[in-house]
Structure 1
Amino acid sequence: MSKTAKINNEDKLFKKALEVGCKMAEMQGFPLTNKNTSPAIKAKAVYLFLVEVNQITPLPADKLDGKNIKKRLALWIHHALPDDDPLK
């Protein structure tokens, strides 16, 4: 996949990444969010957790914004899902 390629189902992949990332953090004893946490804060928390546990490569500091975090999380879950998953 090229760097500029559009990811199919990016929004759905992003939501799945948040769900899986929060569950992973919770299982390791790091509850990241509660029911009132905004999606932007949840996304950054999941991103930082995944960087810390070496699941994803950190973004450069100048590209650490919501749009790039969303795309990085969507790419992470896209590669983590099995080939027969409907989101792929």
Structure 2
Amino acid sequence: MSKVHKIENEDKLFKKALEIGTKMAAMQGYELTTKGASQSIKARALYLFLVKVNQIVPLPEDKTDGQNIKKRLALWIHHALPDNDPLK
């Protein structure tokens, strides 16, 4: 049985992941967001983009709900940030 670890500042890390990931996608020619899209739609689009560009390992099909995607994005940005970042 796997242990679920709580990530400190998960909500802030998630928002930072959406911000940085969206900019990364735009630099590569992908427009992930549209006006009025919900946060969960933006998160799923970013998750699929990051899987496509091999930045994160895809979740199992039965685990691709909103909470798991949010946690995966928070972990991704947590590992990508420099050690002196205040969100770490």
TM-score bracket, shorter-length normalisation:
over 0.9
- RMSD after superposition: 1.2
Matched AA of 1:24: M
**3-state secondary structure, aligned to 2:76:** helix
After superposition, the C-alpha distances for 1:27-80 in whole angstroms (9 at most, x for unaligned) are 000011023111000000000000000000000000010000000000000000
Alpha-carbon distance in 2 for matches of 1:13, 1:3: 20
Indicate whether 1:26 and 2:26 are aligned: yes
Matched AA of 1:13: L
- TM-score in terms of structure 1 length: 0.95
Q: How does 1:7-22 map to 2 (within 5 A)?
A: 7-22=7-22
Partner of 2:72: 72
User: Aligned residue pairs: how many?
Assistant: 87
% identical aligned pairs: 76
Show structure 1 runs of 5+ residues with no match: none
Matched AA of 1:80: A
